[in-house]
Amino acid sequence: MVESSPTARTKIFVLEDDPWYSQFLTYHLSLNPDHDVEVFTSVEEFLQRLPEAPNIVTLDYCLPEHSGEAVLGKIMEVSPASYTIIVSGQEDIGKAVNLIKLGAYDYVAKNGDTKERLWSIVEKIKHNTSLKQVIEELRQEVKQKYSLGNELVGTSPAMQKVFNLVEKAASSNINVTITGETGTGKELIAKAVHQHSDRAKKRFVAVNISAIPRELLESELFGYEKGAFTGAVSQRIGKFEEANGGILFLDEIGEMDILLQSKLLRVLQEREVTRIGSNETIPVDVRLLTATNKNLLEEVRKGNFREDLYYRLLGIQIHLPPLRERENDALLIANKLLKEFCLQNQLPAKSFSAEALRAIRRYPFPGNIRELKAVVEMAAVLSDKETITPEDIHLQEAQPIDSNEEKTLDEYIADIVQRYLIRYNYNVVHVADKLKIGKSTIYRMIRKKEVTIHKLEPTYP
């Protein structure tokens, strides 16, 4: 856990040619003893000092012989990390929007609300900066101590314990049982053991027991000979042979039929397999890793799982904690997932606002990392800005997006709109409001048959 650093001082440059107003700004900004405020009435002097990279700049828009856009451009060029607040005697919304597009952080008009508005913006900037600093400190700490490869990150004590067990598991050849709620990343732990073990150059073969029909699982694991049964038109090796010399990962082992459990036990004891339709035994050198979201010992007591197989599989136990018990890990993982998703889908680089990160930190994520991934991917697709805000974070509503499936950005958006139409009984107006898009956008998608409506006949504007 990263400890909070002492309160940092905030360097503020005030560029204002009106002597009275410069005193007004300096007085109010200096009320906080942690602010170092310097006033400049000359643009030339200001630009000479700009390489000092102040945290915040208040920029008078109407300077003699200098345009506000030109000075803002110079700030963005010389000190891009500085937050620039435009201060102007004119309340021009169009101009404010344009300046913010050019890189200004906010716009304040010189009126009776200036003091409160300016103070609020400065405090917001400081909060954003502080949160970004915490994220960066966590990221650096992760790089140094709390990561395994590129997949697993975490600074929480619970994950430090997991990393320690992974290192121990990787340095031995003992079986490993990984437990934890659905969506916590059990396969990632198995891959980490593989990548850090002496079998890293050999195959890692993963099998999800629950995803394979019971009658096909035996042939999937042990293989079969040509003609062994109807449809066996050629020989096929099983997953044990495929993983020979490497690691076989059996996910959701608690779902395995008890009759097949006895055959698995025999393979582990004899270290050899027999394909279906053959009498020949084939030696295999496989290290077995298993995972389950069930309490296997309880399953043994119920008679659903063989006791002898349970103890054969047990080995080193690694329990993955749910995301809600991992403190700030959700923020680290969210940033990592966002960066990866944008890269994989050729989207512009995006980041989370401080408010969005707070929303992520507060939410318990009952679906764990799998749910967080769905939330992040949906936010990345829905947001048309570089900064993702709380309005883009749809908690409890996101469904996983298969980022391995090749889809265009328009196709991703259509998928999301279709899900929301189904969820809200094809109420276009309500869906448009929930997704913060125009209802005409949805009607256009209906016309183009990008989404479909079954409950009603839409009226097009």
443 phi, psi to nearest 5 deg: -60, -40
Residue 176 and residue 315: Cα distance in Å, rounded? 5
In this predicted model, what pLDDT tens digit does every residue of 318-355 receive, in sequence order?
A: 999 999 888 888 998 999 999 989 988 888 889 999 88
What was the pLDDT predicted at 301?
A: 94
3-state secondary structure 239-276: HHHHCCCCEEEEECHHHCCHHHHHHHHHHHHHCEEECE
What was the pLDDT predicted at 299?
A: 93
In this predicted model, what pLDDT tens digit does every residue of 257-284 receive, in sequence order?
A: 999 999 999 999 999 999 988 889 999 9
- CATH superfamily label, 10-140: Response regulator (3.40.50.2300)
pLDDT surpassing 70 at residue 136: no
- What residues does each domain of the chain span? 10-140, 156-321, 324-447
In this predicted model, what pLDDT tens digit does every residue of 386-437 receive, in sequence order?
A: 899 888 888 765 444 444 455 566 777 787 888 788 777 778 888 888 787 8
What was the pLDDT predicted at 303?
A: 93
Element (H, E) at 36: strand 35-40
Coil/strand/helix, residue 104: coil
In this predicted model, what pLDDT tens digit does every residue of 18-65 receive, in sequence order?
A: 888 888 888 889 888 889 999 998 889 999 999 998 999 999 887 877
In this predicted model, what pLDDT tens digit does every residue of 429-443 receive, in sequence order?
A: 888 887 878 888 888
**Which residues lie closer than 8 Å to 319 by C-beta, 6 or more apart?**
162, 178, 179, 180
Query: Which of 11-20, 103-112, 270-279, 291-300 is predicted least confidently?
Result: 103-112
| Burial status of residue 77 (CB atoms within 10 A of its CB: 0-12, 13-18, 19 or more) | exposed
Element (H, E) at 381: helix 368-382
What was the pLDDT predicted at 205?
A: 94
Under CATH, which number does the domain 156-321 receive? 3.40.50.300
Are 10-140 and 156-321 in the same CATH fold? yes
Is beta strand 176-179 parallel, antiparallel or unpaired with respect to 287-292?
A: parallel
pLDDT surpassing 90 at residue 89: no
CATH 3.40.50.300 fits 324-447, yes or no: no
Name the residue with higher pLDDT: 101 or 273.
Answer: 273
